[in-house]
């Protein structure tokens, strides 16, 4: 069992749980585009710094960018913007928990898309892990029952999970097609994707929502923390997906929910319900199944 992809996934899950908290708070003050940009605006310099440190640490060749690599990077950058925007829209809904649960169904969506279009191969135990993890996520995301689920929320959540899944699959393909040793391949993809995302959203805001840029810099600490946790999360995801199949990474990444529940229990003093305990057991079993692939 390789522990590298597991460690990177755990880093990503922990960072993402904090990023979502910061981003959710920002969403009450900024537009969808502004909240999305907060995720990237300070992340590209940090990603570049990480890339430079890698080359100082160990010699490696510079990449040769092919048309295939360019397609994957551009596609991943645009699709992640779409996915993040959809997630921000879900933040604003009254039945956010259910929509967010659907948005976190990246593992089964990436498994289906990966097998159909990307040559992904999953073991029987791997499929069981993906399914158990999905059941655990959906169980937690229905505190008041699924009867209150609207068509709009369902479509937004499913579209968000599909966009995130496709982003992850393209990121893995971009890293594999670059022909560089790990972690240089993942670091290049990380920097280029984040840089392109920053340029695209900034250009949009300069044309359509200049006031949003002003509003962003009125909350510098929150924006910086969103970018910092975002780049740490992306570093973890990009690195893990360079080493392991996306469905396994995303299934283990659902451990983020476990972190959030334990934080609420030990830090906020909230009680854990029977439903949450059942979901935790399912997520833990799913994590064990995919870790031993």
Q: State whether residue 268 is helix, strand or coil.
A: coil
Quick one: what percent of the chain has pLDDT higher than 90? 51
Across the range 1-11, mean pLDDT stands at 86
Nearest Cα residue to 98 out of 51, 26, 42, 148: 148
Query: What's the pLDDT at 264?
Result: 63
Query: What's the pLDDT at 95?
Result: 53
User: For the segment 235-244, what is each residue's pLDDT rounded down to a tens digit?
Assistant: 999 999 999 9
When the pLDDT of each residue in the chain is averaged and rounded to a whole number, the result is: 86
Show me where the domains of the chain are located: 4-56+63-291
Q: Rounded distance, CA 191 to CA 128, Å?
A: 34
Q: Rounded distance, CA 210 to CA 122, Å?
A: 46
Q: Rounded distance, CA 276 to CA 281, Å?
A: 9
Structure tokens at 257: 């929910």
**Ranked by mean pLDDT, which of 17-21, 214-218, 231-235, 274-278 comes out on top?**
231-235
Q: Angle 107-112-115 (CA atoms, 0-180°, nearest 5)?
A: 115
Q: Rounded distance, CA 5 to CA 292, Å?
A: 12
Q: State whether residue 185 is helix, strand or coil.
A: helix
- Residue 35's Cβ-count burial label (10 Å; 0-12, 13-18, 19+) is buried
User: For the segment 34-46, what is each residue's pLDDT rounded down to a tens digit?
Assistant: 888 888 889 999 9
Nearest Cα residue to 180 out of 76, 52, 64: 64
- The alpha carbon dihedral of 62, 64, 68, 70 has a sign of positive
- Residue 132's Cβ-count burial label (10 Å; 0-12, 13-18, 19+) is buried
Residue 48 clears pLDDT 60, i.e. is over it? yes
User: 88: pLDDT confidence band, cut at 50, 70 and 90?
Assistant: confident
Residue 97 clears pLDDT 60, i.e. is over it? no
Q: Which of 66-80, 94-108, 122-136, 173-187 has the lowest mean pLDDT?
A: 94-108
User: pTM value?
Assistant: 0.86
User: For the segment 101-155, what is each residue's pLDDT rounded down to a tens digit?
Assistant: 666 778 899 999 999 999 999 999 999 999 998 888 777 766 555 556 667 777 8
- DSSP sequence for 125-154: HHHHHHHHHHHHHHHHT-TT-GGG--HHHH
- In angstroms, what CA-CA distances link 162 with 102, 108, 286? 10, 10, 20
Query: What's the pLDDT at 268?
Result: 53
């Amino acid at each position: 069992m390789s522990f590298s992809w597991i460690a990177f996934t755990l880093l990503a899950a922990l960072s993402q749980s904090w990023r979502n908290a910061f981003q959710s708070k920002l969403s009450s003050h900024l537009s969808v585009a502004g909240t999305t940009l907060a995720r990237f605006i300070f992340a590209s310099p940090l990603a570049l710094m990480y890339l430079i440190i890698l080359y100082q640490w160990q010699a490696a060749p510079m990449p040769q960018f092919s048309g295939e690599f360019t397609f994957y990077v551009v596609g991943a950058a645009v699709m992640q913007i779409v996915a993040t925007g959809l997630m921000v829209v879900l933040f604003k809904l009254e039945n956010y928990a259910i929509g967010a649960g659907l948005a976190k169904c990246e593992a089964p969506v990436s498994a289906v898309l990966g097998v159909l279009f990307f040559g992904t191969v999953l073991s029987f135990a791997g499929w069981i892990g993906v399914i158990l993890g999905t059941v655990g996520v959906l169980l937690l995301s229905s505190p008041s029952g699924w009867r209150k689920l609207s068509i709009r929320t369902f479509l937004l959540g499913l579209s968000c999970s599909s966009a995130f899944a496709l982003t992850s699959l393209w990121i893995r393909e971009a890293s594999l097609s670059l022909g560089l040793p790990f972690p240089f391949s993942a670091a290049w993809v990380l920097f280029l994707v984040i840089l392109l995302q920053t340029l695209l959203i900034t250009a949009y805001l300069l044309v359509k929502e200049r006031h949003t840029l002003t509003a962003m810099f009125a909350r510098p600490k929150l924006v910086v923390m969103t970018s910092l946790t975002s780049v740490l999360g992306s570093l973890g995801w990009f690195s893990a997906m360079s080493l392991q199949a996306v469905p396994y990474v995303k299934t283990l990444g659902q451990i983020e929910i476990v972190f959030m529940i334990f934080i609420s229990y030990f830090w906020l003093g909230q009680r854990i319900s029977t439903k949450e305990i059942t979901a935790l057991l399912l997520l833990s079993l799913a994590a064990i199944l995919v870790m031993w692939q």
